[in-house]
A and B are shown apart, each in its own frame.
Chain A
């Protein structure tokens, strides 16, 4: 069948043949709509927009109701980026065939593409009248929510669209017609936007909430969000405590646990006598309990062969909170310096050690910075060899530990305080370490980074500091070092980005293009 031939040509990008084929067909059957539209698609794809449009409109004006023409026109309008024309198409189609579930569906989708929410709502209900399937009803509900979100008048959202959506869902609930998880999600969304937090909580905790099965911890997460909105700190605390017992590495629950404990302390909350502490179980409402809880998590973790970082960092966070309230000393949690040192001993060989400790460096007094760094350096196994003046790491773990310390040194401003000569000495040392570290990365793939790349980066940044302070020649050394680094680590995006920035600053645009193609 010749039309299929046209489609074949179009699918394979052979627009010329498609057009030729169409002309052949149209000579014999000049009103073959489908062939005309497919010809229009061919024209559109060869850049003849106006011709294509004119041809398409010839067909559209006849208000076709055959599937092939409709689909072909939809494709054409989409390629022309004229989605509003698809709505007109199907509006005409459903007028002629008012009971077509398919055309009403397409009409709904067409409205969705142009964001005509009110019309979507109507199309949804029209569909539901033809075939009372839940999805169609809830498409309507969803369209109401979209209207409420996009309404210019906030009041209208809260007093018209959302309440209407709510009533629509309540009707289905009353008639026990709720089927899908998505319907419950919509209900929750409506109640949340109406700020009916208690009602939302009841839905999630009730029978309907049992449908929330796809996402892990969906019910717990939604309950937690509602407890926070309702300021129900006992529940927040009990739930976060339970979730931490399940996974003591999940940071967001430590934050909630601490937030809620301190709220309860400020409210002087005590558990009700002879009753459950809260809907979610046992509550911690004193600092002693919080301290004990964290210490227990740490004890648990220290038994594991691969301890999780969570409890250790949580302890530092607790110290920060107590300090903020002016009461750290009483609880004997220890000095942050000591805890961070212990943390480094445990996790210093992991790349994330730096970003973890970075969160808590504000707990260190600045007078202690140098001492802290020295302390860390002492525990790294480094040894000087005959060839090298400096003590070097013997394996990747030691290298990573040392890198962490170097990064911390920069963060704490230790390099910043140095004069030019000292900085240049540091640069020299960092590059020695960088080149030495390449030994460990001999088997790295082109798509991986070298273990010692950060040494090179930090050396470059120190030189950049000097350049910005007026050392003209420093920038040239930057470029050399970065190109050296890139030659060993072709995937390192930071090398590339720095090179691009520096070349641009120096107005050397030519090199900029050769460094970008790999998407780094």
Chain B
């Protein structure tokens, strides 16, 4: 059973259990505060009956309306190991999509490591498809090669012809992204 509510500054002191498996490097506090200040409606946390934080989602809206690129973006989505397999990630994504619909977005997108098959499959099940590959998007910290990312998208109702999710025929580089 899950309380879904707005993330608050104080939650920053309580959500280590969710972050604990994130690959290095992790976001700093200024990064979270920036999102909290700018897009608080997208920053949602799930809390268990015992008071533990179960997971959170963080996102933003950006892009030109005129070019039909106004969209919701998933910046971070994480569920603590002890609260997995409850459909929580799907629920949080559903909320982010609902907010993006309210804002009149054309689509929702996110970046995910090409090697993260578990995540890629989860997003596919939620209706996302690979729009393009971004070469060397994730820079590695320890001498290993940079990793490519999939830019996955899901069209929202404003994109009636589903133009936003037609895949690009070729990969792009990080510099080419708006």
Interface residues of B in 89-108 (CB under 8 A from A): 95, 98-99, 102-103
A306 contacts B by Cβ under 8 Å: yes
Identify A493's interface contact among B5, B20, B26, B50, CB under 8 A: B20
* Residue contact A252 to B82, C-beta cutoff 8 Å: no
Beyond A309-B1, A350-B86, whether A215 also contacts B49 by CB under 8 A is no
* Residue contact B2 to A251, C-beta cutoff 8 Å: yes
Q: Which residues of B contact A520 (CB under 8 A)?
A: 20
Interface residues of A in 484-520 (CB under 8 A from B): 491, 493, 518-520
How many of B's residues come within 8 Å of A, CB to CB? 32
Q: Which residues of B contact A447 (CB under 8 A)?
A: 21, 23
Identify A449's interface contact among B1, B21, B40, CB under 8 A: B21
Identify A359's interface contact among B40, B41, B49, B81, CB under 8 A: B49
Task: Give bound CA distance, A215 to B98, whole Å.
Answer: 10
* Residue contact B3 to A216, C-beta cutoff 8 Å: no
Residue of A nearest to B61 (CB): A214
A309 CB, min distance to chain B CBs, angstroms:
5
B84 contacts A by Cβ under 8 Å: yes
Instruction: Give the residue among A249, A313, A352 with the most B Cβ atoms within 10 A.
Output: A352
A355 CB, min distance to chain B CBs, angstroms:
5
Identify B3's interface contact among A214, A215, A250, CB under 8 A: A250
Task: Give bound CA distance, A254 to B49, whole Å.
Answer: 10
Task: Give bound CA distance, A92 to B95, whole Å.
Answer: 48
A427 contacts B by Cβ under 8 Å: no
Q: Which residues of B contact A251 (CB under 8 A)?
A: 1-3, 47-49
* Residue contact A359 to B84, C-beta cutoff 8 Å: no
Interface residues of B in 1-40 (CB under 8 A from A): 1-6, 20-21, 23-24, 26, 40
B52 contacts A by Cβ under 8 Å: yes
Instruction: Give the residue among A215, A247, A310 with the most B Cβ atoms within 10 A.
Output: A215
Q: Which residues of B contact A351 (CB under 8 A)?
A: 81-85
Task: Give bound CA distance, A518 to B84, whole Å.
Answer: 22
Residue of A nearest to B6 (CB): A215
Q: Which residues of A contact B3 (CB under 8 A)?
A: 250-252
* Residue contact B50 to A358, C-beta cutoff 8 Å: yes
Identify B1's interface contact among A221, A249, A358, CB under 8 A: A249
Residue of A nearest to B17 (CB): A493
Q: Which residues of A contact B47 (CB under 8 A)?
A: 251-252
A294 contacts B by Cβ under 8 Å: no
Closest 7 CB pairs of A and B: A214-B41, A310-B1, A215-B41, A252-B3, A251-B3, A251-B1, A493-B20
Known: A216-B44, A216-B95. 9 other contacts (CB 8 A): A214-B103, A216-B98, A216-B99, A251-B49, A309-B86, A313-B49, A351-B81, A352-B83, A519-B26
In the assembled complex, 14 residue pairs joining A and B whose CB atoms fall closer than 8 Å, in A order, are A214-B41, A218-B41, A221-B5, A249-B2, A250-B3, A251-B49, A252-B3, A313-B1, A351-B82, A359-B50, A447-B23, A448-B21, A491-B20, A493-B20
